[in-house]
Amino acid sequence: MRKKIVAGNWKMHFTPTKAAEFAQEMKDKIDTDTVEVVLCVPYVSLQSVQNEFKGTHIKVGAQNMHYMDEGAYTGEISGAMLGDMGVPYVLIGHSERRERFGETDTTINLKTLKALEHGLTPIICVGESLKQRKSGRTFSVLRKQIAFALDELTTSNVSKIVIAYEPIWAIGTGETATTEQAEEACAFIRSNINTRFGSTAADNVRILYGGSVTADTAGELFAEPNIDGGLVGGASMALTFEKVVHFGR
């Protein structure tokens, strides 16, 4: 059985002080060993939130990283830096990074390889736009994104990654893919990995659904056989996040 993951993405919210206060308020409510709970917070809050979660099962993740270990990359953070901090997870290729900051399939692959090199677990985000879905290109988009993201990965490495299917049209819009749409896409991703890396890798890789996941939608989504949890945006910054985590158990 694949252990469910409920990963929160705080995006650009909370000062370090507010982040620590919210972490302190939430930790007893979401601390569990039956679900892997991960909160991906802004760089400046990594340390304060880590301190609050000491002694719990809750993990902290970064929201991005560079694909070089060091260099003249002002404003960037490396996988080596995150590894030295003891940060176990990092988001790679979130749709907002792709759309607003020009991240490409190639850079996402480089970041994935570098994250694994430093012992980080990358949560690789893939998903289609509304235009692509309406034109029947969902699977071709996913196939291309996965092919690039996992280029040069070994079969053993694939078992160490997490993939988040996040349809762009359902992020921050209040729209959610139907359970059938989400399961169909996640099943396609797993089938794609099976074809490329074999059944063991496909059985082990955890695939999340992301896209306006809330306490009202999580239960039905997480019950699907190919959905191993969720990448949660706004709902992870509210007390109702406890209910989302509950559905992962």
> pLDDT digit string (tens) for 35-88?
999 999 999 999 999 999 999 999 999 999 999 999 999 999 999 999 999 999
**Considering its fold, how many domains does the chain have in total?**
1
164-181 average pLDDT score: 86
143-150 average pLDDT score: 98
Residue 119 is part of which domain span? 5-247
Torsional sign, CA 43, 7, 13, 27: negative
Pairing of strands 229-232, 5-9: parallel
Kindly tell me if the per-residue pLDDT of 218 is higher than 80: yes
Task: Tokens 């790679």: give the residue.
Answer: 92
Phi, psi (deg, nearest 5) at residue 223: -80, -10
Quote the pLDDT of residue 235: 95
Kindly tell me if the per-residue pLDDT of 207 is higher than 90: yes
Whole-number Å distance between alpha carbons of 67 and 109: 9
Quote the pLDDT of residue 5: 98
85-95 average pLDDT score: 97
Quote the pLDDT of residue 245: 98
Quote the pLDDT of residue 36: 98
Quote the pLDDT of residue 169: 87
Quote the pLDDT of residue 93: 97
Phi, psi (deg, nearest 5) at residue 124: -90, 120
Quote the pLDDT of residue 223: 97
Quote the pLDDT of residue 141: 97
Quote the pLDDT of residue 107: 98
End-to-end CA gap in the chain: 12
Structure tokens at 6: 């409920």
Phi, psi (deg, nearest 5) at residue 229: 130, -160
Q: How far is CA 79 from CA 84, 177, 218, in A?
A: 8, 32, 31
212-225 average pLDDT score: 94
| 94 tagged catalytic | yes
Q: Which of 94, 103, 183, 246 is catalytic?
A: 94
Looking at the chain, how many residues does it have?
A: 249
Average pLDDT score over the chain: 96
Quote the pLDDT of residue 215: 94
> pLDDT digit string (tens) for 123-136?
999 999 989 999 99
Contact call for residues 214 and 193 (beta carbons, < 8 A)? no
Taking the CA of residue 228 as centre, how many other CA atoms within 13 Å lie in the half-sphere pointing to its CB?
A: 21
CATH (domain of 68) = 3.20.20.70
What confidence tier does 144 reach under pLDDT thresholds 50, 70, 90? very high
Q: Which of 36, 52, 96, 166 is catalytic?
A: 166
